[in-house]
Structure 1
Amino acid sequence: MLFNSTVFLLGFLPVALGLHGLVLRWFPRLRRECLLVLSVVFYGWWDLRFVPLLALSIGANWLVSRLHLATGARGLIPFAIAGNLAALGLFKYLDFFAELVGWISGSAIGPVGLALPLGISFFTFHHCMYLADLRAGRAPVFGLRDYALYIAFFPQVLAGPLVRWREVMHQFARTAPVAPSAFGQGLILLCLGLTKKVFFGDPLAALVNPVFAIAAAGGPVTVMQAWQATLGFTFQIYFDFSGYTDMALGLGLMFGIVLPPNFDAPYRATSLQDFWRRWHMTLSRFLRDYLYVPLGGNRHGTARQLLALLATMTLGGLWHGAGLTFVVWGFAHGFGLGLGLLWRRVGLAMPAALGWLLTFLFVTTTWVLFRAPDLSTALRILESLAGHAPLGTSLSWRTLAPAAAIACLGPTALAIVGRVRPGRPAAIGLGLLMVVILLRLGEDANYAFIYFQF
């Protein structure tokens, strides 16, 4: 079920909070069991077929951790990590690689069409993070219940943030009631995340989708249409994904769990390196610690570092989606990060304003690759962006301008939560905002979150 659905907000969430509160009051030692059951119900609500796969994935990786503890075999964990990645490849990339092989060989290979299990990219990376830390001696072996809860905890199982075991396992074990201040902050974050999604992300999708549909069908796209779609998606993906993250963090707080932040005003970045320190922060640190550093990082000279950046970001792009557009998107960001590295090594100065402009333009134009269904569609949009098309009519500033102002200049949701003082005015304002959100959800079609497809 979607966080932005009435069945979640008016059905699952009140029941889950009530049950969790009763367990904390009368059976506090069963808190982890309660959270695990709620997480399985949440995950299975969308499609029960995926629950056995999630359970098998959890059970197999937990058994590997126990065998590693019992035998100390060094090759066991790399084999398990490879198995996790193979399962991800089977469900997510089989058709992509089959199409690529067919294109190279000139043979016709039809798609298999396996259903993509929800959240498989995220829970696969959680398995890999834990197993890598276990092999390095940084992680203990947990019981099956605790490990299952770490992987399946419902606020973050479908689309992150990517949470390290040491950030949450000790929190799951707490039996104290959820502090009213934490619950209130969580409720504010939930409402702010819903606001981002319902009032900004979804309306922007209405500007973006028709233009990319025209380009995908081979139709003409004017310069203004291309810029409207490109800028629209730039802000849509921010409000959509950061809104989801705000909801995930808020839900975690409402159940007494602090999840790591994932966004910090990324469109204020003055360099591409700065952007990746602010955008999808938990993925950035995963790519850094579990790909970039093992590939050599900055320890073996500039050439090796450039190759590590390029490989890390290209693989990061492929993780986002089974398509050449994602590979090129990741490669472009790796190339851009490499240029930034060389610029810093030479010692050249970059005015902050110019750095922001270049970074924003680079990120904005590469989002076209991320959004387009194929490279030919992306090229049509990029050609129009460059002016190789009729000018067309003006942009839809009524939707774009407020989104741009909030994304680039406004405070982050976490900053707002830190400034709000508890009291009757805040409670009344929050209640009215939730009513407006529910009315909006009732009258409009709800878009699924963009990152659910990954």
Structure 2
Amino acid sequence: MTPSDRDILWAAMLFNSFAFLLVFLPVALLLHWLVERVRPQLRLPLLLALSVAFYGYWDWRFVPLLVLSVLLNWLLAQAFIRLRLGWLIALAIIVNLAVLGVFKYAGFFAGLLPGLDLTGIDVFGSGAALPLGISFFTFHHVMYLVDLKAGRAPDFGLVKYGLYIAFFPQVLAGPLVRWSEVMHQFDQRPYARADAAERFARGLLLLVVGLIKKVFIGDPLSAYVNPVYEAAAKGTAVSLAEAWQATLAFAFQIYFDFSGYTDMALGIALMFGIVLPQNFEVPYRALSLQDFWRRWHMTLSRFLRDYLYIPLGGNRHGLPRQVWALFATMALGGLWHGAGLTFVAWGAAHGLGLCAGLLWRRTGRTIPPLVGWALTFLFVLFTWVLFRAQTFEAALRIYEGMLGLTSIGHGFKWRTILLAALVALIGPTAWAAVQRAPPSRLLAVAAAVVFVLVLFKIGDDANYEFIYFQF
């Protein structure tokens, strides 16, 4: 490991970094324990301060954006509660989406206009104009504001609302947490529970499992993916073996990368006494595309359903309206994932696939489970190419290779892919495995040994950022 690599391990506050695992998390847990024991009324302000510090460690210039976002939305919510003027909620949502649009989509939409190129927009002059987690905390604002206007959400104080938006285990890449899932937990005293020690231990074990998925499975798969897509982006023909290697590897890389992050987030939150919603339920076992989206990024799927698909009409206004709502929801979901036409095409493809599934179910016919699984898995594989490729030209070269329109090639790297496939298709979710695990000293020792091995692995290899941080 070079000195520059070592600097990166400390400079980035990744869950899989020395800075987080060896400094921030232990200090945060110690402070949280002391405050919860001595001054429990300061627990929420401490968690909020820790969350802002965690966010600011990435780039302090974006802290004002997060703080102002919380303050402005809370003030508009307070004004609505007192005045009951619906336009205040509409104004708040428009402001949130406008801020997201400026940071994330200004260059994209400007690039669609002839003669206007703002693709290099950099609001802060930092070289990284997109604030981490802006899509996630924007959607948290939207969920609360919509529910507040509908009379489903109550009034919350500024500290509690700020913690809902900025809670550090989930602020950067989710899961998307509804206020009703977490707000009541903020009022509890987690270490006063009879099962406090067991919950803390299970949270720690979940963190270790997430690290294993990220460091030992997800990251190594990048070596199977990146060179192939880089070659395709340069116009190089991709062989059959290379195309399928890269496509299969990316399907499992993004799963273990993102679900590993989610496991870490859930585990860290549990160590602080907060239960966050699960986000994955063995998605590659899905028997239909609808089933896949009930298992993949589950909190986003529920958000799109409740806050976009249903407001667009859902299934309440006839089949044509339902098809349109389904397609539009998924296309916009694709745009949320990234400011590029390939992401829109990925979302639109899933929208068309879901519409086809809807029409098939209307016929009353069924598909054998094995056939349904194979069709779903292949569809997801082929559409991941659009998600990963930077351009349609690069995606086309991958597709040409997958369809055997180029050379057959050789040297298919299958070992890590096979391991990933077995874990993804056969194993239980990390949450289920950890919750079912009986308290055991042997298990604790094994987890400690694996944690040390993870630290050695982090020190030896490049420290990969989580894929979903770019969204």
TM value normalised by structure 1: 0.98
The answer to whether the 8 Å contact 2:349/2:383 transfers is yes
Name the residue aligned to 1:54.
66
Amino acid at match of 2:177: V
Task: Indicate the SS of the match to 1:309.
Answer: helix
Aligned runs of 1:188-199 on 2, under 5 Å? 188-199=205-216
Could you give the per-residue CA deviations for residues 202-229 of structure 1, whole angstroms, max 9, x where no partner exists? 0001110010000011112111101111
> 1:165 aligns to what?
179
Provide structure 2 residue ranges, at least 5 long, that are not aligned to the other structure: 1-12, 124-128
Aligned counterpart, 1:92: 104
Cα pair distance change 1:172/1:352, threshold 3 Å: same
Question: Are positions 1:187 and 2:204 aligned together?
Answer: yes
Instruction: Kindly indicate whether residue 407 of structure 2 is the aligned counterpart of residue 390 of structure 1.
Output: yes
| Amino acid in the other structure paired with 1:112 | I
2:326 to 282, 287, 309: 309
Instruction: Work out the CA distance in 1 between the residues paired with 2:207 and 2:24.
Output: 14
1:417 counterpart = 2:431: no
Name the stretch that deviates more: 127-136 or 395-404: 395-404
Cα offset, 1:382, TM superposition:
1.2
The reply on whether 1:227 has 2:241 as its aligned counterpart is no
Query: 2:289 maps to which residue?
Result: 272
| Cα distance per residue 1:121-177 (max 9 Å; x no partner) | 000000000000000000012111111000000000000000000111111111241
Q: Match of 1:209?
A: 226
Aligned-partner SS, 1:177: helix
What are the Cα deviations for residues 220-264 of structure 1, in whole angstroms up to 9, with x where unaligned? 211110111100000000000000000000001000000000000
Give the residue type in structure 2 aligned to 1:78.
A
Residue matched to 1:130 = 144
Q: Which runs of 5+ in 1 are unaligned?
A: none
Task: After TM superposition, give the deviation of residue 110 of structure 1 in Å.
Answer: 5.7
Which amino acid is 2:142 matched to?
A: C
Q: How does 1:431-442 map to 2 (within 5 A)?
A: 431-442=448-459
2:367 to 339, 350, 355: 350
How many percent identity over aligned positions? Answer: 64
Q: Give the C-alpha shift of residue 423 in structure 1.
A: 2.1
The residue that corresponds to 1:28 in the other structure is 40
**What are the superposed Cα offsets for residues 318-353 of structure 1, whole Å, 9 maximum, x if unpaired?**
000000000000000000000000000001110000
Letter in 1 for 2:74: W
Letter in structure 1 aligned against 2:280 = F
Pair 1:10 & 2:19 matched: no
Cross-structure match for 1:320: 337
Q: Tell me how far 1:53 sits from its aligned partner.
A: 0.3
The aligned runs of 1:66-77 (5 Å cut-off) are 66-77=78-89
1:418, CA displacement in angstroms? Answer: 2.2
Shift of 1:420: 1.2
Letter in 2 for 1:111: G
1:160, 1:10 → 2: CA distance? 23
Equivalent pair of 2:108/2:119 in contact (CA under 8 Å): no
Paired residues, number: 451
Pair 1:147 & 2:161 matched: yes
Contact 1:326 1:369 in 2 (8 A): yes
Report deviation, 1:394.
3.7
Asked if the contact 1:5/1:441 (under 8 Å) is kept, the reply is yes
Q: 1:419 Cα deviation (Å)?
A: 2.3
Local SS of the residue matching 1:196: helix
Q: In structure 2, what residue type is equivalent to 1:31?
A: R
State the TM-score, normalized to the length of structure 2.
0.94
Whole-Å separation in 1 of the counterparts to 2:172 and 2:366: 41
Q: Conserved in 2, the CA contact under 8 Å of 1:99 and 1:111?
A: no
* Maintained 8 Å contact 1:29/1:175: no
Asked whether the 8 Å contact 2:48–2:162 carries over to 1, the reply is yes
The offset of 1:107, in angstroms, is 5.7
- Corresponding residue of 1:447: 464
- Spell out, residue by residue over 1:407-441, the C-alpha distance to the aligned partner (whole angstroms, 9 max, x if none): 11112101211221112111111111111111111
Q: Is the 8 A contact 1:96 1:322 kept in 2?
A: yes
Structure 2 partner of 1:405: 422
Alpha-carbon distance between aligned partners in 2 of 1:66 and 1:410, rounded to the nearest angstrom: 47
Assess if the C-alpha contact under 8 Å between 2:106 and 2:118 holds in 1: no
Residue 281 of structure 2 aligns with an amino acid whose one-letter code is D
Aligned-pair Cα RMSD in Å: 1.0
Match of 2:121 in 1: 112
